[in-house]
Structure 1
């Protein structure tokens, strides 16, 4: 009989503990604003890519005060490489500008998108850009995200007005630490040898 009296308080205590645990768990998961939507994540939890952006369209803005190389292309378009930086995650990000130095409208070629069918549905991009490490005899392609979108400037206008430029970035796997320079290849331009920082 005494066992029944002991079990009752134990069950009640377990129920109180379970209710307290659930309450704390729900509070830890975030608050609700009353319409079924939780609070937006704070800026401190934004992805690193978003933190580095500085332009209205969400693309990274390169430091144009330094020029690694300028390559002349077809019909008055120049490719200016401003930086090629390694990061701690094992990536290499190349950034620069495609400048229309001609007097007329420059229509961006479809070849800039690359030939892969997997990225064709992502629209305009610079997925055709590649890096060649002559020392290690390796070629690197623009990385893709989990939805197979290339990690490069995309969704840009189909043309560049005279005197205007298209700011770009492209992210690649980083070459070996012993590699200090690579050749950037892009349709319509000659090879551009760039120093890695």
Structure 2
């Protein structure tokens, strides 16, 4: 599985929207369930999602979790089926924005390595 981050953009409303694509470069279908994380309330409302993603502002020493509504539905891609061999899926996630002085954060999605992401906007 290879994830390509296309954009992490700061919105005027105080959010960061991250857009990415995930490709299954293997020869077998891959389950996407782990991407939703392990928080029970999120799992119940967001099966097969990317709700387990986080951003970490190392300078500000703060972790940011996916935004959610009052019913625990994430502001992210949901309903992701198993990813067939050779196929790609597009995903998005919204987080609270770190301070405007923060221009780079670490991004983590379960089963993928942590990577640094530059914030635009």
TM-score band by shorter chain is over 0.9
CA distance in 1, matches of 2:37, 2:89: 18
SS in structure 2 of the partner of residue 104 of structure 1: coil
Greater RCO (Cα-Cα under 8 Å, separation 6 or more): 2
- The answer on 1:117 being equivalent to 2:47 is no
Q: How many residues align?
A: 119
Residue matched to 1:172? 95
Cα deviation for residue 85 of structure 1 reads 0.2
RMSD: 1.0
What 5-or-longer segments of structure 2 have no aligned partner? none
SS in structure 2 of the partner of residue 92 of structure 1: strand
Residue matched to 2:56? 132
SS in structure 2 of the partner of residue 132 of structure 1: strand
- Shift >6 Å, 4+ stretches: none
- The answer on 1:188 being equivalent to 2:114 is no
CA distance in 2, matches of 1:153, 1:189: 17
- Structure with greater proportional helix content: 1
Residue matched to 2:77? 153
Residue matched to 1:162? 85
- Structure with greater proportional strand content: 2
TM-score by length of structure 2 reads 0.93
Greater C-alpha Rg = 1
Counterparts of 1:5-154 in structure 2, within 5 Å, are 77-108=1-32, 110-122=33-45, 123-154=47-78
